[in-house]
Structure formats: C-alpha cells, structure tokens
Amino acid sequence: MVYYKIRGGRKLYGEVKISGAKNAAASILPGLLLINGICRICNVPQIEDVHLTIEILESLGAKVRWLSSDCIEADCREIGSRTVLPHLGVRMRASHFFIGTLLGRFGEANAPLPGGCVIGMRPIDQHLKGFDAMGADYAVDGEMVRVSVKNGQRLKGAEICFDMVTVGATMNLMLAAALADGVTVLKNAASEPHIVDLAGFLNAMGADVSGAGTDEIIIKGVPSLHGGSYSLIPDQIEAGTFMAAVAAAGGRIRLSGIIPAHLKCISAPLRQMGMEITEGEDSLMVSRPGELSGIDIVTRPYPGFPTDMQPQMGAVACFARGKSTIVETIWEDRLRYTSELRRMGADITVHERTAIFHGVPHLIGASVEALDLRAGAALVIAALAADGVTQISNIGFIERGYHDLTGKLAALGAEISREAEERDTEEDH
C-alpha cells in the first residue's frame, strides 16, 4: 500500500507554480474528438484523470503524444470507434464527456454510466434531456448508455433549460452542439471558469460559442472544426488548496501562474478569517499573520464558494478560533471527510448537509483514509498543522486531481513523503 507520511508543525514558505485545471482538461481533452485536424494543448496537468482520458482517446483511434511536460499533440482525424470501453470509462466520472463529442461528430456514442461515488449519485439525466432535445435517442442497458441520432442525421440545435445548475451537462451540451445543425441555447447554464475555458477552446478551433460565463450560452453549429493550439486555464481548486494549507499550517507563500479573478470566491472567506492575501497580475501572496477566526460557508455554483474547496475549508475550520459552519448544497454526501478529521481530534458535528466546527488548539497525527479526491486534500491540510505524524492511505484519489502534491508541499518546507508499505511476501511465511 502506498501512503503519504506527514509530520506536522512546519510553516510553509516559498513559491508554488499552479498546474493546469483538472476540470478544464476533463471536457477539453474529450473535445479533441470533435476536431478533424491536429491540435496542440498546453498547461495540461500530469494527473491520473488526464492520463486515463488520453488512454480513452487512443482507444477510440486518436493519436496523442506529449510534446513536453505539459503540452500534448492530438490527431483525431481517424476515429474508428464510437464506444468508450467500459473498463476504461468506469474509472473516471468525467468519461461522459465522450458522449457529447462522439455524438456531436459522428451521430452515435456509447459509454459506461458514471457510477455514483462517495460524494453523491452523479446522475446524467440533464445530459440525456439535452441530447433528446437535439433529436437523439438514448437507451440505458445495464452499465452502458447508448445515444444516437435517428437514421444517421446530425444533431439539431435546440433550446435547453437545465433543471439545476450543472457543470457537466453544460459542458457536454456545448460539446454536442458545436457541430449541430442550427443554434443551441443553454439556459440556467453553469458559469465556472472551466466553462469559459471550454468555450475558448472550441472557438479557437472554429466553433461559434457565445455567452460562456453567464447563465445563457448560445452555440451556433458549424460544419466542422479545424486544428490549432490552446492553453488550459490554471487550476482554481489546486490554488485554493494551497491557500488553505497556509491558513492551517501558517507561513507565507506565493502562488504563481494563476488567474486572481478565479480565486475571489476563495480569497473572500479566507480574508474574513484573518488571512492576508494580495493579488499580482498572475500571482497571489498568501500569509497567516495570526490566529484565524471561525467562518460560515455555504457552497454554491460559481461565482459562489466552490463545493470542490469545501473539505479543504473544513480542515482549516478545525483550527479557527470559535465556531464555524459549512453547508454543502451541491452534493448530498460530501461531509464524510469530517469523520477522518475527528480521528485527529477535531470537534465537528454533522447534521444532514451542515457541519459545525469548534476550533481546537491542536489536532493529533493519526492514520487516516482519503475517502475521495478533495477529502484527501483536506486530510493533507490537517496533517500539515497537526502535532506528530499522520499517515494518509488511499492516496490514489488525491493523485487523480493533484500533480506532485508531495513535491510541491515539500518545496514549501513541509515534511511530507510518499511511502510504500512493505508488503508481506509469500516467503515471509
């Protein structure tokens, strides 16, 4: 078993370069399938989800190669398959973006249903509602969802109003609509930075997308998309995770390669708690001048406080003076990480979607388990500030979304390492 070993109590100092956005790569890399040409995408994070996405692209017939540590070249002119292989697709929630792209380009798509996970059911009813509105038929048989346009026609532009703000369905319908016949209007659309990034990528390749970043996005279908170059935005949540790490452990760090405007929803509560945050053009200076005070947070779609930063702020709240409350409005089961923090001595009570924290002087290092990606990040943050040594297992979740988290934190002065437990071998018995 591989695990993180962290000795807490070290303040963080120095500079960290933030990688490209995981949740922008999640839709833009599958979006390469729409393009009858060769594309170069840069600022691509070297994370497990990206490696798996590339594996799925190649299984469909794409030719993909890394040009450098963060740039890939993809040639999707020869795509033979319309089916995402189940053993690949089930390993990543975001494989449903291949449905929108295969359907948009070829009129047919088959992919495994994104299974539920520890934070919630992850349904795709809004995606399917959109495809239906655009003239596609769909069927769910067991673990696969099969979508196709009647007798080989192209998708038709439609007006679609989502029942709730959904990042995934907004992006999937943008992808499907890019090559559709006519105009598609998405109402009650999500407006996260990665939605704007997807629109930027599509338009760079010849699409006609407007309104991204608002709650109404208009996509005018074009006959085809050409190759070109594009660079992903920096990861808002990775940046926020490092901001939360300084809030818990103390110190002063500079985040570089970021877009400060994307971080305002995270900076605001941290400043309210007592953090000092100054903005540069593409950087932030973040420091903790003294003890933090408690905070009340409610997660909301962008530009509200992001649900993907909720566990990390929970870890910070464990140390903040007085009471903090966190209400999770997006996912039905995203407070499970609090049970692992309680094993470290945190004072937290959870009722339905509300967690109440009372700050304690110290957490104590313990053996804990990452229950999902951001829950794992929260445990890293708590361990950096805890007394003694913490071991975090199930780090595969963490490495799905963070590139070289241990290396970046160690460079800031944290005592953190990636260890492998000696497995008992047969001859030992």
Q: Looking at beta carbons only, is 4 or 302 nearer to ligand EPZ?
A: 302
Nearer to ligand EPZ, 120 or 228 (CB): 120
Distance of closest approach, residue 172 Cβ to ligand EPZ, in angstroms: 8
Nearest to 240 by CA among 215, 225, 227, 259: 259
Question: Cβ 302 to ligand EPZ, closest distance in Å?
Answer: 8
Our CB check for ligand EPZ shows the closer of 193 and 251 to be 193
Give the residue at shortest CB distance from ligand EPZ. 168
Q: Give me the least distance between CB of 15 and ligand EPZ, in Å please.
A: 24
C-alpha–C-alpha distance, residues 109 and 111, integer Å: 7
Burial class (CB in 10 A: 0-12, 13-18, 19+), 382: buried
Which residue has tokens 């975090």? Answer: 392
**391 near ligand EPZ (CB under 6 A):** no
191: closest CA among 158, 221, 217? 217
| Residue whose tokens read 């990775």 | 238
Q: Minimal CA–CA distance to 330: which of 352, 348, 351, 353?
A: 353
Q: Is 140 in the site for ligand EPZ (CB under 6 A)?
A: no
Partnered with residue 159 across adjacent β-strands are: 185
Q: Which of 42, 71, 117, 265 is catalytic?
A: 117
Which of 12, 21 has the CB closer to ligand EPZ? 21
Q: Which is nearer to ligand EPZ, 24 or 386 (CB)?
A: 24
How many residues sit close enough to ligand EPZ to count as binding (CB under 6 A)?
24
Q: Is the dihedral of CA 84, 89, 93, 94 positive or negative?
A: negative
145: left (phi over 0), alpha (psi -120 to 50) or beta: beta
Asked if 48 and 35 count as a contact pair (C-beta separation under 8 A), the reply is: no
Which of positions 52-111 make contact with ligand EPZ (CB under 6 A)? 94
Q: Which is nearer to ligand EPZ, 262 or 374 (CB)?
A: 374
Region 204-233 residues binding ligand EPZ, contact defined as CB under 6 A: none
99, 147 Cβ separation under 8 angstroms: yes
Decide if residue 403 touches ligand EPZ (CB under 6 A).
no
Q: Is 166 in the site for ligand EPZ (CB under 6 A)?
A: yes
167 belongs to the binding site for ligand EPZ (CB under 6 A): yes
Options 53, 148, 307, 312; binder of ligand EPZ; rule CB under 6 A: 307
Q: Please select the residue that binds ligand EPZ; options are 84, 330, 378, 383, rule is CB under 6 A.
A: 330
Tell me if 164 contacts ligand EPZ by CB under 6 A: yes
Residues 210, 211, 214: CA angle, nearest 5 degrees: 165
> Both ends of the chain: CA-CA distance in Å?
19
Decide whether 67 or 164 has the Cβ nearer to ligand EPZ. Answer: 164
Give the separation between CA 7 and CA 414, rounded to whole angstroms.
8
Q: How many Å apart are CA 61 and CA 347, to the nearest integer?
A: 52
Give the nearest distance from C-beta 168 to ligand EPZ in angstroms.
Answer: 2
Q: Where would I find the beta strands (DSSP E) of 18-127?
A: 38-42, 63-66, 72-75, 108-112
The DSSP symbol for 293 reads B
Q: Which of 21, 62, 124, 199 binds ligand EPZ (CB under 6 A)?
A: 124
315 binds ligand EPZ (CB under 6 A): no
CB of 331 to ligand EPZ, least distance (A): 6
Check residue 40 for interaction with ligand EPZ (CB under 6 A): no
- For the question of residue 117 being annotated catalytic, the response is yes
Please answer whether residues 216 and 186 qualify as being in contact, where contact means their C-beta atoms are separated by less than 8 angstroms.
yes
The tokens for 394 are: 């199930």
- The answer to whether residue 284 forms part of the interface with ligand EPZ (CB under 6 A) is no
User: Which active-site residues does the annotation give?
Assistant: 117
Q: Report the interface residues with ligand EPZ, using CB under 6 A.
A: 22-23, 26, 94, 120-127, 164, 166-169, 307-308, 330-331, 373-374, 401
